[in-house]
Structure 1
Amino acid sequence: MPVTTTCFAPCEKASRYLQQLVSHWSHRMAATWNDGRAEFPFSDTSRASMEALEVGIVVTLTTADGAENETMRGVIERHLDRFAFREAPLSFQWSL
């Protein structure tokens, strides 16, 4: 059964970090950036949408199950922390 979680990560340069993430992941998937929103189709069963706000990043992650969701949350957190290294570690507040 699909699992969807959301997250807010406060940061100062959300748009910059998401654009870098799109560039980084576009080598592996059809990642897109449009008007402050990024889309990441990880697989047929896993995808993330991220929105850059002035005060942080909003993430919506949908996966096939809870185990995959937990794994993908870690992948997203590690990558965003890498691009936000001046502010890292970011505070990721996930909710179901």
Structure 2
Amino acid sequence: MLISTAHYATENGSKYLQQLCKHFAHKVAVSFDESEGTAALMSGPATFLADRDGLTIRVTAEDMKGLIQARFAIDVHLVTFAHREGFSGLSWSVEELPDASIPA
């Protein structure tokens, strides 16, 4: 299981969280409020956390291909949503969870 996390420093974290979740809700199951959201992306779940410092995003996938697809979908939509801020992409970190840590 792979997990990738990114943080976007912005005053509009809640706005972007809601825009992302509303957009993804057209295709997958989503739940969200002003500060937290989840989207059941095809590659695995994505979580969004907004606070006064910005937007933190975490995506999970079984393999690198799924992780790249999820990150791309989020990045490409944020480029559109945050264009006034000059957004050009997230800096993602990646970690691999050992099989034993995956809940059944």
Equivalence for 2:78: 80
Provide the identity percentage: 28
In structure 1, the gaps of 5 or more residues are none
Equivalence for 1:55: 53
- The residue type equivalent to 1:16 in the other structure is K
Equivalent pairs, count: 94
CA contact (8 A) 1:9 1:90 kept: no
Equivalence for 2:99: none
Alignment of structure 1 residues 30-45 onto 2, 5 Å: 30-43=29-42, 45=43
Cα displacement (A) at 1:89 = 1.7
Task: Report runs of 4+ in structure 1 exceeding 3 Å deviation.
Answer: none
Alpha-carbon separation, structure 2, partners of 1:36 and 1:81 = 20
Alpha-carbon separation, structure 1, partners of 2:28 and 2:69 = 18
Equivalence for 1:3: 2
CA RMSD of aligned residues (A): 1.5
Cα displacement (A) at 1:34 = 2.8
Whose Rg is larger?
Answer: 2
- Normalised to the residue count of structure 1, the TM-score between the two structures is 0.86
